[in-house]
Amino acid sequence: FSYGQGFRAPQLFDEDLHVDIAGGEQIIAARDPNLEEEKSHSFSASMDWYKRVGAVELNFMIEGFYTRLLHPFASVSKEQPDGTIIKTTINESGAKVYGTNIEARLAYSDLLDLQMGVTLQKSRYDKERKWSDDENDDVEATKKMMRNPDVYGYFVANITPVSRFSLNLSGNYTGHMLIPHEANVTLDGVEIPNSTEKVRTFFSMNFKASYAIPLYKGSTMELSAGVQNIFNAYQKDFDKGPGRASSYVYGPSLPRSYFASAKISF
């Protein structure tokens, strides 16, 4: 069992200073003059189970967590008469993040090492809120936090069939989540108001094969090749044209890609 307490000072962070674009207009970050620090109280409890059966090692872990946020930071966007969009950081009344994390591991000698985990999580404000204050927006008030899925998970499998040769297979799953979609202008000149999009789930899988070649006096050269995002789980609805919303990005950062590398270790 553990408890932790933390806070964030009322300031703009580096990532807030980048100027985004939506509908051809600048989005300028600002903060409420009465912005207070964000405080948190976190509780967690976990249980581990270990078992060895011959050459097989098993491990199972379950954890519960609860975080209470006081005066959490949130942002609200509002268009000004000159077309500029001001995104203001404000305090909400409160929020909570809670859920369960489950992890399991199986190892068989030097041949196989498999690890996987899943997290079931709720991220909710105490009161329903809108991230946009525009009069003509298409944003509904909700308690759900933006960009926070209720389910996500992973797995990693390392296989060493022979000495110096290894295979790695890994994957990441991200559940449905809400994404703020700021106003934009399509290639046809149609104005699209602010809206909240419920995006689909993503499962990104990666594969890598490696071979280590002994060199001189203990040094080795590792040759690797593989594929990232095998199933090309990638955002399909990017805004296009000069009036696009540059902040409307979600999901895996890269489409399917291939790679090869060489690394020398001394």
210, 183, 196: which is closest to 265 by C-alpha?
Answer: 210
pLDDT of residue 77: 80
Listed residue (54, 63, 153) closest to 106, CA to CA? 54
Give the tens place of pLDDT for each residue, 182-193: 877 776 777 888
122, 99 contact by CB (below 8 A) = yes
pLDDT at 18: 55
Confidence of residue 21 (pLDDT cuts 50, 70, 90): low
| Domains assigned to the chain | 2-265 (2.40.170.20)
Q: Please tell me the pTM assigned to this model.
A: 0.84
Higher pLDDT, 241 or 171: 171
Q: Residues 162-179: pLDDT tens digits?
A: 989 999 999 999 999 999
- For 113-157, write each residue's pLDDT tens digit: 999 999 999 999 999 999 888 777 888 999 999 999 999 999 999
